[in-house]
Structure 1
């Protein structure tokens, strides 16, 4: 089966291409560096020729509100048009657990717009909602840092290893279209502030983490369960503590 992976050279995309290839599929990495530009449409018709599935794990190069909205709207519109013309029968997109609960954030408004375009397109689809990746916990700290202080909400979060996300997206891609959403999360829930303390301590990072219930997350206010998956989520096996130990 030929599967085109948009964003196929990134963190999730490169792992996904590898996993699909190991299972005998023709997985093609599509990105600007491989001659495919979803914003202009350049290279889309060529890369989709003969494809059965398109998987979109791309992300906006800018998180500024207008730029990120323009990226997801334009890119998704171009992808859906090109795959209809090519006869692609399954559109898979990677999105985020809690997207619909984080609409104060420009980024998550853009992800919601992406999902709505997919649902309205008429193309059979599956949307994979993942929780935050282990690899990005430090970036969350950086986004919340002022001086030597990291101000973070104590809301619950259930982070997941990127390898496990790639595996979940791969399973979804080779399956029957869901015409709905499936969630994937790590096995353990943490308070966000404690998770960041643990990550920074492992790096001997001297910054002080301050617990602040009013601290924003990508511009949005968090309730205790905003970032948590539902009861039917697929729980991956890799634990944060084990992953963190390997980083050392």
Structure 2
């Protein structure tokens, strides 16, 4: 097969390329910007011509721009005759969700189902490495020790290691289209308090109002868009939209998912 991977210079895409390159019977094409510009439909169509399977690692940035990028990729794949699109999505794809990227993920999945391409949807939970950085960013001294001030209540999130997502994407690329979704999660769903304790045993989670968290982000110099993205993700977590735990990583790769505690303690 000829397998193309978008976002091949990113942390997930690069790992997918490395894993697929070990299968020397297949040709692996690493697509990176500016050559593989998500905004350039013609260039995408040209790059995807002759590709059997596309591993589509999602774009990033403002939601409206991401939706345009994803529409271009799906259209280019369909027009180029790509037989199988392995698309990285998220656990929360509900268009009624408060999370800004739930809309983009849900819209992309709808486009793929209508595209005529075979597809496999990889719905990843929140990356453990990313969430660890988010928690460390709000770890502050408090009157009774270190505090993690996040608006998540006692909700749980099934943090998944980036490496497990990459392994699952590579495995799906070597299989026929499943034409369904696969939930890629860690082996357990943790509360923010448990995540905080894994990072700093002395830290405790303090649930704060979303407005207070948003103001703290903006006050620290975060852009308005990313402050909005983080706040809406945490609201989605608080509503239980990221608590699903599945065995899909092990089923696809033959290896169990990495416990979040192993990632957080690094």
TM-score range (shorter-chain normalised) is 0.7 to 0.9
Structure 1 gaps, min length 5: none
Distance 1:233 1:100, change over 3 A: farther
SS in 2 for 1:132: coil
Q: How does 1:43-192 map to 2 (within 5 A)?
A: 43-60=43-60, 62=61, 67-72=62-67, 74-100=68-94, 103-141=97-135, 150-153=149-152, 154-192=154-192
8 Å Cα contact 1:144/1:152 also seen in 2 = no
How far apart in 2 are the matches of 1:69 and 1:142? 29
Deviation of the 1:208 alpha carbon: 6.1
Deviation of the 1:142 alpha carbon: 6.2
8 Å Cα contact 1:3/1:27 also seen in 2 = yes
SS in 2 for 1:209: strand
Which deviates more from structure 2 when the two are superposed, residues 189-198 or residues 90-99?
189-198
Structure 2 gaps, min length 5: 142-146, 214-230, 251-255
Which deviates more from structure 2 when the two are superposed, residues 124-133 or residues 83-92?
83-92
8 Å Cα contact 2:59/2:70 also seen in 1 = no
State the TM-score, normalized to the length of structure 1.
0.81
How far apart in 2 are the matches of 1:192 and 1:208? 9
Does 1:243 find its partner at 2:263?
yes
How far apart in 2 are the matches of 1:102 and 1:144? 28
Distance 1:84 1:42, change over 3 A: closer
SS in 1 for 2:94: helix
Deviation of the 1:192 alpha carbon: 2.4
Distance 1:13 1:231, change over 3 A: closer
RMSD: 2.9
Which deviates more from structure 2 when the two are superposed, residues 167-176 or residues 106-115?
106-115
Deviation of the 1:15 alpha carbon: 0.2
8 Å Cα contact 1:101/1:226 also seen in 2 = no
Q: Residues 108-143 of structure 1: CA distance to partner in whole angstroms, max 9, x if unpaired?
A: 212211111111222111100111112112333267
Aligned twin of 1:211: 207
How far apart in 2 are the matches of 1:127 and 1:52? 16
